[in-house]
Amino acid sequence: MLLKKTLLIAALLSPSLFASAHEYNAGELHIEHPWSREMPAVAPTAAAYFVVHNKGTEADRLLSASTPVAGKAELHEHIHADGLMKMQQVQNVAIPAGGEVKFEPMGYHVMLFNLKQQAKDGERFPLTLTFEKAGAVEVEIAVHKDAPVGEKTHGEGHAH
């Protein structure tokens, strides 16, 4: 009987533990649900997404990203130019005081180049985000077969 109660309590607590384990804090910044989409094994790149909330009274900037699973990580954005969607590297991304910035498909994202291997659905990998004021914070990127509910799904990765 005690075992059944213990298992029931563990089952009820598990979803809340998973949710809180996938959010990160760095100073006044709160980083929510870092994720990436599973890509074909032959794809040369992947992209990482997340939301950064700035709960502070001063703006901050995301300066860079790095991960041991890729040779290079760059901050990128989608732009509309001459009637076309283009992607380009940006040097940093401002995180306004009291605001948020979404890193999502068709918006800002972290491009991962020279991957050692593509991650599969259900796997996780580390990504270090370096902010001007909050410093470095390591997050775990959760890999999904499909974009999480509510996320845009176009333009996951791109070739250069």
User: Residue 113 is part of a domain; what is its CATH number?
Assistant: 2.60.40.1890
Q: Report pLDDT for 147.
A: 83
- Decide if 132 is inside a domain: yes
- 51 against 17, higher pLDDT: 51
- Decide if 150 is inside a domain: no
pLDDT digits (tens, 9 = 90+) for 8-45: 344 444 343 343 458 999 999 999 999 999 999 999 99
- Decide if 149 is inside a domain: no
Q: How is residue 43 written in tokens?
A: 């794809």
Read off the pTM: 0.80
How many domains does the chain fold into? 1
Q: Report the share of the chain in percent with pLDDT over 70.
A: 79
Give how far the C-alpha of residue 114 lies from the chain's centroid of Cα atoms, to the nearest Å. Answer: 18
Q: Report pLDDT for 80.
A: 85
Q: How many CB atoms lie within 10 A of CB 89?
A: 10
Q: Report pLDDT for 71.
A: 96
DSSP 49-112: EEEEEE-SSS-EEEEEEE-TTEEEEEEEEEEEETTEEEEEE-S-EEE-TT-EEEE-TTSBEEEE
- Decide if 159 is inside a domain: no
- Decide if 153 is inside a domain: no
Residue 4: is its pLDDT beyond 60? no
Q: Report pLDDT for 158.
A: 44
* For range 105-133, the mean pLDDT: 96
Please tell me the least confidently modeled range out of 11-25, 49-63, 141-155: 11-25
Residue 74: is its pLDDT beyond 90? yes
Ranges of H-type helices in the chain:
2-21
* For range 79-108, the mean pLDDT: 94
Q: Report pLDDT for 150.
A: 61
Residue 132: is its pLDDT beyond 50? yes
- Decide if 28 is inside a domain: yes
Residue 48 sits in which domain range? Answer: 2-144
- Decide if 73 is inside a domain: yes
- Decide if 152 is inside a domain: no
* For range 102-110, the mean pLDDT: 96
